[in-house]
Amino acid sequence: MKVLLIGSGGQVGQELGRLLKEPLTVVQLSREQLDLTNLEQTYQTVVDQRPDWVINAAAYTAVDGAESELELAHRINGEAPGVLAKAAADCNAAMVHFSTDYVFDGAQGRPYLESDPPCPVSAYGRSKLAGEEAVKAANPQHLIVRTAWVYGSRWKGNFVKSMLRLGVDRPVIKVVSDQVGTPTWANDIAETTARLITLPVADTAGTYHFTNSGAISWYDFAIAIFSEAIALGLLTKAPDIVPITTAEYSTVAKRPANSALYCTKLRDLLGHAPPYWRDSLRQMLSELV
Ligand SMILES: NC(=O)c1ccc[n+]([C@@H]2O[C@H](COP(=O)([O-])OP(=O)(O)OC[C@H]3O[C@@H](n4cnc5c(N)ncnc54)[C@H](OP(=O)(O)O)[C@@H]3O)[C@@H](O)[C@H]2O)c1
């Protein structure tokens, strides 16, 4: 089986590139090798490769940047996935596409099901929702995997790495305590994806939620990062972590207040619940030791 992995340089892409091995034939393409803003080249690349699966781990992920780079975000997140899906359909290939909890407004008061109507509150969320719709329209053989708050050990910048860096430089860190979601380790997303592509897509096609288990605020997450990092000897002491509200921490893009996702559909398919967020955090930090 041949897999074409697009966006192999990102957090999820790097973990997929490491995990997907023989007997699979895996062709990995980073942004340097395939720029999704070139839609013609994007289509042609897939058709030339004739894969069985296209996995799209590439995205414009700068949530605040998308508010001013509307067209670029829409092209990468909204249009290119549809082109990949169409090219995959033309080769009778299936497609995995990643999406986000930010397709929801976060106002529901309980975790979101796949069947809940999306209602993004940011340009990034709208561009990702457009991508979902384009994939669905272009190729019935699709798996859309919505995930959230992703961090990976091999990536240059994410919330976990930022906290560890700030913790060395600053005695006090203010962290938002009224946005709730689920931190999710890129490695867990990759492992689940690797399993999903072994199942017959005729039985599985559709939209799924996958995050680690549990839901917390960014503030709770920061406390846990420092506590686990100290236990592992990565840091000697934690800074003071001060909870603040979203209103006190102004960002260009609006973010959902509570975007936790129910992952029961995937749990029922795979027969087990996703790893608990804190266990995955500990494992990721232990890789940094
Ligand atoms: N990060 C999160 O917290 C989060 C949360 C929910 C959902 N998701 C979704 O999960 C998926 C994976 O996210 P991630 O965290 O792994 O993202 P990431 O680390 O930001 O990686 C995205 C990758 O896409 C590449 N890319 C950007 N523009 C491109 C273009 N024009 N052509 C080709 N490649 C391009 C980037 O290249 P460069 O390395 O050159 O920039 C990067 O390698 C995405 O669909 C994202 O929307 C992410």
CA of 207 from ligand 1 middle (Å) equals 19
Pairing state between β 180-181 and 53-56: unpaired
Which residue owns the Cα nearest ligand 1 atom 24?
58
At 157 the pLDDT is 84
Cα four-point dihedral sign 150, 195, 200, 262 = negative
* CATH 3.40.50.720 is held by the domain 2-156+182-214+259-276: yes
Judge if the upstream peptide bond of residue 23 is cis by omega within 30 degrees of 0. Answer: yes
At 153 the pLDDT is 86
Ligand 1 atom with minimal separation from the 97 CA: 45
Q: Is the pLDDT assigned to residue 156 strictly greater than 80?
A: no
pLDDT in tens, 172-199: 999 999 999 999 999 999 999 999 999 9
CA angle, 274 then 257 then 188, to 5°: 20
CA of 18 from ligand 1 middle (Å) equals 16
- The residue count for the chain: 289
CA of 230 from ligand 1 middle (Å) equals 30
Write down the number of H helices and E strands in the chain: 12, 12
**pTM, full prediction:** 0.98
* Helix axes of 80-90 and 123-138: crossing angle, nearest 10 degrees: 10
Q: Is the pLDDT assigned to residue 71 strictly greater than 90?
A: yes
Which secondary structure element, helix H or strand E, spans residue 157, and what is its range?
A: none
Query: Cβ distance 34 to 46 under 8 Å?
Result: no
CA of 77 from ligand 1 middle (Å) equals 9
**CB neighbourhood size of 278 (10 A):** 18
pLDDT in tens, 219-244: 999 999 999 999 999 999 999 999 99
Ligand 1 neighbours (beta carbon < 6 A): 7, 9-13, 31, 34-37, 57-61, 76, 98, 100-101, 128, 147-150, 155
Give the catalytic positions in this structure.
Answer: 124
What whole-number distance in Å separates Cα of residue 14 and Cα of residue 5?
10
Structure tokens at 113: 């099901």
Question: Which residue, among 189, 181, 66, has the nearest Cα to 131 in the 3D structure?
Answer: 66
Q: Where are the domains of the chain?
A: 2-156+182-214+259-276
User: 């781990």: which residue's tokens?
Assistant: 57
Give me the chain's average pLDDT, please: 97
